[in-house]
Structure 1
């Protein structure tokens, strides 16, 4: 029997801070002792809503170099089952289930004079704040943050970031772009913010349109690191209906994909270039997933037969991959027969 993944442990909510009208920070005391983590990482949380276990990934807003307590900050998402449940039902003294911290959105080694630029859209400030605190404490690098928000009341950590800048004069600069005052952020704003720091390391987190804008505007020689979770984005309106164009169904290839989820074991014919997550859906299952970009590890399962190639992996460690774990949203079978088991 494969080892269940991810392994969850419980943590007591010791304090809740209302950051904005729709954002709260949950201070956690993990059972069994503190969690070891790096700034910028996240935990997968498991909650039971309407009789079903749901998984979501939330970043740490604390940093191990500066904070004695583990903190995660969650913004209420319209229609978001987990974020709304956390806001509406969790009180101080309650317990939550979470995994060990994970993720690759962490500080990379850099020269002391390489600036760090952070680009945050809305709640994307959460992991970037963690990175900033870590860099300011553990390195001599300059840190500059561009934070885009709808308006002043929705700006998360507004006072906290200002206080942090006061504690690090000359090293931390925080620029707040408020849409109601300056209009929507554009490429010119980003290039103006970057200025002469074309070779800086850039860390980007926020809604997908924001991230695409920032990434396309960064044309220097610096490195770009992005964190995508994807959950909670409001989809665009559907295009006008058009007469369907006849298409041939995807051709099945030799082999079988077998998925074990809960008490179900389902097999479907293998299809070319189809991910394991897509195969599971085609089989009528509803496996856990969130970002579908290879970042959050929510869709992880264990490979028990065959081999796969992951298109993107920004969540699993080398050790976990060696043990057979795979991001099913990114895993494409290499062998005719593949079997994976979800927790």
Structure 2
């Protein structure tokens, strides 16, 4: 097979089509070179890490596929965001024919291989990976699907027409409930409880703004759904809690094993293990940097650290010492971490 990526793992993907979804959201259909098509096959719910240069800065951001693997096109959908340098640049300047460098698909926010119902909650641009999951479940299985989709206003609903079409084509299997904050206020636990009432064995997928996700997750778990049935995909990270920041201030050094090298690095208070590795000159693996994909996982063999967010590792992995280094702040004087 011919080489598809440069040394940094990114390949140029040409923008084949630009679709304006709403006034502040755009879908980009990407053309994958034939010689690297195998590397860019993906599972529903996964994302691409893009590398772009904006105002002279080399930036990397992750965007979920809104297309489904059963479809011919590879498509990501990007919503404008206040202060979102890359998201706004993609919305404002990208046109057909432009090349965007992307790393191969990653992520664990994927459908489980069961026949159980899919219950999905999306808020705003959180519909992007959810759309991929819905399209795949409807095309590849006989699973029933229900979607609760929350937006601030009616004109901000991404994929409104596509969802209406899917609901008509799959009237016996797909239920779509729209929640508009302007009409009904923010989503409440009771609204979540009413929506999931009557669901039997099901898997729950949640993506959207942090407060929305917290409300939905708490309500779903409160209803008795086992935690292993609840799947989360976050697009942003929360501020570091004060107690965690204070604990990290006591750390002096981090020992890092990567690529058959062992480096001892001085620690700068507030930095994650991943940031410390980078400052030490190591090319530590990473992608989403929100605790969702698992790309940056490593094992702590001595010392301790606390993860700010973990939507990728299961309890057994955590018990064995695995952490997401992008989300981990040290809590002991020294920490020894190994990338395996």
TM-score in terms of structure 2 length = 0.77
Q: Deviations for 1:272-311, whole angstroms, at most 9, x for unmatched residues? A: x9741354699899x998865411468x4999x9999895
After superposition, where does 1:319-338 map in structure 2 within 5 Å?
Answer: 327-330=324-327
Q: Deviations for 1:126-184, whole angstroms, at most 9, x for unmatched residues? A: 11110011111111110000000011110000011000111112101111111112221
> Equivalents in 2 of 1:328, 1:224: separation in Å?
23
After superposition, where does 1:103-182 map in structure 2 within 5 Å?
Answer: 103-110=107-114, 112=115, 114-182=116-184
Q: Deviations for 1:192-237, whole angstroms, at most 9, x for unmatched residues? A: 1111115321100000100000001112335111111206x9x8xx
What residue number does 1:295 align with?
292
Judge conservation of contact 1:229–1:290 (CA < 8 Å) in 2: no
Go from structure 1 to structure 2 and tell me whether the alpha carbon gap of 1:50 and 1:180 turns closer, same or farther (over 3 Å shift).
Answer: same
Using the TM superposition, name which of 220-229 and 10-19 deviates more: 220-229
SS at match of 1:40: coil
> Equivalents in 2 of 1:4, 1:276: separation in Å?
26
Query: Which protein has the bigger helix share?
Result: 2
After superposition, where does 1:10-29 map in structure 2 within 5 Å?
Answer: 10-29=12-31
Judge conservation of contact 1:205–1:211 (CA < 8 Å) in 2: yes
Deviation of residue 109 (structure 1)? Answer: 2.0
After superposition, where does 1:1-343 map in structure 2 within 5 Å?
Answer: 7-31=9-33, 32-34=35-37, 35-65=40-70, 67-110=71-114, 112=115, 114-197=116-199, 199-218=201-220, 219-222=223-226, 223-230=229-236, 250-252=249-251, 255-257=253-255, 267-269=265-267, 275-277=272-274, 279=276, 292-296=289-293, 300=296, 311=307, 327-330=324-327
What residue number does 1:243 align with?
none
Go from structure 1 to structure 2 and tell me whether the alpha carbon gap of 1:84 and 1:121 turns closer, same or farther (over 3 Å shift).
Answer: same
> Equivalents in 2 of 1:278, 1:288: separation in Å?
11
Instruction: Could you tell me which runs of 5 or more consecutive residues in structure 2 were left unpaired when the two chains were aligned.
Output: 240-245, 314-321
> Equivalents in 2 of 1:79, 1:148: separation in Å?
22
Judge conservation of contact 1:256–1:270 (CA < 8 Å) in 2: no
Judge conservation of contact 2:25–2:78 (CA < 8 Å) in 1: yes
How many residues end up aligned between the 2 structures? Answer: 305
Go from structure 1 to structure 2 and tell me whether the alpha carbon gap of 1:171 and 1:280 turns closer, same or farther (over 3 Å shift).
Answer: same
Judge conservation of contact 2:298–2:325 (CA < 8 Å) in 1: no
> Equivalents in 2 of 1:153, 1:58: separation in Å?
22
Q: Deviations for 1:22-51, whole angstroms, at most 9, x for unmatched residues? A: 000000001234321111100101101121
Judge conservation of contact 1:306–1:339 (CA < 8 Å) in 2: no
Go from structure 1 to structure 2 and tell me whether the alpha carbon gap of 1:284 and 1:103 turns closer, same or farther (over 3 Å shift).
Answer: closer
Q: Which has the higher contact order (CA 8 A, sep 6+)?
A: 1
TM-score in terms of structure 1 length = 0.76
> Equivalents in 2 of 1:251, 1:173: separation in Å?
52
> Equivalents in 1 of 2:176, 2:67: separation in Å?
18
Judge conservation of contact 1:14–1:29 (CA < 8 Å) in 2: yes
> Equivalents in 2 of 1:248, 1:9: separation in Å?
40
> Equivalents in 1 of 2:336, 2:6: separation in Å?
22
